[in-house]
Each structure stands twice: as structure tokens, then as C-alpha cells.
Amino acid sequence: MSLAPSIALLCSAIFFYIKSDRRKLSLAFTSIASLMALWSILLFFLESGLNLEIKLAIVRLIPIPPLFIPYLVNYIIRNYSNPNNLTPVPRFFSIAHVSAIILFSILFILGIGTPFLLNGPSFYFHGSLIYNLSIFYIYAALAWGMGRIVYNMFQGSYFEKLHSIYLFTGILFSCLFSIGFLLFSSSEELIHNSILAFGLIFFLWFSWIPVTKYRLFNVDIEDFGKDLRSPRVSSIVITINRYLLNKIDPIGYKEICDRYEKLKAEELKHIHMSGIQRLLLGKVSPSEYLAEASKKITKLFF
């Protein structure tokens, strides 16, 4: 079993924390990536050359890190369409999540419901009622979040729809990767191989972009009309957003374009008026006026 998933998740966690515009919301992404990296590392140690006592302790800890993901995903989904006004998870849901995390964690630490059995020198996955209930809790919470995303894709504003498309795409790729891996994996391998964590990376990156880089999805920014003369990730994201917005709501997209063109027309008028004023006052020569105006207009449109 490779350490590659753990390394990729740890690097993602560090990147999310350092590069995010909103530290509080980015902590959710950092925490998810870190927890799944821990899960992957524990699985790696389970198949390493450690002594049996340490492995028995690891077996009890493996199911615990994923238990925190539903609460963190709940927080992300409640705030992804409006990160400027973050809201906490409602008290009822918080109590339910915390109770489930504590209950299942205590059971697993006590060795009740562990999903692995010892077979000679190695462990194999066999599942259990407690473990299956914990998985049901995780997937039920994620299904609720998926339902809310799908609802926003159809009922939200076109910018909420745009955000939802990114999250839905991340979840879709994550599921397809995980299902594909399980279909082609050997029955002799641990069914919870750490390579499954790669599927989660798709969700993290596709959702991190619209959630923490909300500026790229804002109609008020000048970057919305930015050309791709200087290729950057932000330019690529903005280009994709323009295409998606045009497909989601052509009328709303036309309004944004009209607004942008109006701002450019006002700026062009200001360039001409300020240049003519300096020319009439004798501060610049006609050739200097033409050179300055041409440079500003070229910068404005290109």
C-alpha cells in the first residue's frame, strides 16, 4: 500500500490553509484533508512491519477519522454559496453530529464493532453492525448535503447554481473514482485501501475553488472581463465561469456582460476627457496625448 494518498492529502491540507482567502472556512477543508491523510497513514501502518500490539491499537483507531467528515461537510455546504456571512451548523445538528462521533469513537476504541479481523500475520476487512451503522451515518449526512446542492442547482440564483455545479462535479468525480477502484480491486486486498482517499481529493479541490476563492465568482470584479493574455489559474476559472453562466442563464449572463461593457465605456470616456483636458491646458503635446490614450485603451481592453 502506497503513502501517496497520505502525502497528497497532507499537501492539499497545507495548501488549503495557506492559500485560502477565508481562514475559518478553509479550516474545514484543511481538517477533512488532514483526517483522511491520518486514515490513510493508519491503513499503511496496518500493513507494515509493526508489531502485533501496535497494529491491534491501530485497528481500533482506523474507523474514527472519517466520523468527523459529515459535520465538516455540513458546515461547508451551509456556507459555500455565501462565504461572506458564515453561519454555524444549527445546534440540533451539531448535537447530533457530536453525539454520533463520541458514541462510535468510544465503541471503536473499546474494540466493539471493529471492521478488521486478524488472520494469521495480517488483517482482513469483514465489517460489523456497529461499523455499518457508522458508515450509514456518514453517507446519510453526505446524501443530505448532496440533496441541498442539487436543490441549489435548480432553485438558487445563477451564481448559486454556478457554485453548486463545482461541488456536484467534485462529488461526482469522487464517487466515480471510488466505485471504479472498488470494481477493479482484488478481493484479496483490503476493501478500504487508502487509494480510495484519492477520490476525496476531487471533491476537496472542486469545492475549495468556489468556496474559498469566492472573488472569482463575483460579478463586481474587473477580472470578470479579464482576457487570457497572461495565463493564470484564476483566468482559467473565470473563463469556465463565463461559459457556465452563459449556459445556466443566458439572460442573466447578458445582463452581466452589459454591465461590464457599460463600466468599460465609462472608463473609456474618462480616458478621453482627461486626455483632452490635459491637451487643452498645454500639459501634453498632441503626439503625447495620442500615445498615452492609445496605451491606456490597449491596457483597458487587452
- pLDDT given for residue 95 in this prediction: 92
Name the percent of the chain lying above pLDDT 70: 80
Instruction: Indicate the domain borders of the chain.
Output: 3-215, 231-301
All cell numbers assigned to 73: 461537510
- Given pLDDT bands bounded at 50, 70 and 90, which one contains residue 185? low
- pLDDT given for residue 221 in this prediction: 43
- Given pLDDT bands bounded at 50, 70 and 90, which one contains residue 157? confident
pLDDT digits (tens, 9 = 90+) for 277-298: 777 777 777 777 677 777 776 6
Choice among 132-136, 183-187, 206-210, 263-267 with the minimum mean pLDDT: 183-187
- Given pLDDT bands bounded at 50, 70 and 90, which one contains residue 103? very high
User: Under CATH, which number does the domain 3-215 receive?
Assistant: 1.20.1070
Helix axes 52-61, 91-109, angle to 10 degrees: 160
Please check the confidence at residue 192 and state whether its pLDDT lies above 60: no
Q: How far is CA 43 from the centre of its chain?
A: 24
Contacts of residue 75, Cβ cutoff 8 Å, sequence gap at least 6:
28, 88, 89
Burial class (CB in 10 A: 0-12, 13-18, 19+), 102: exposed
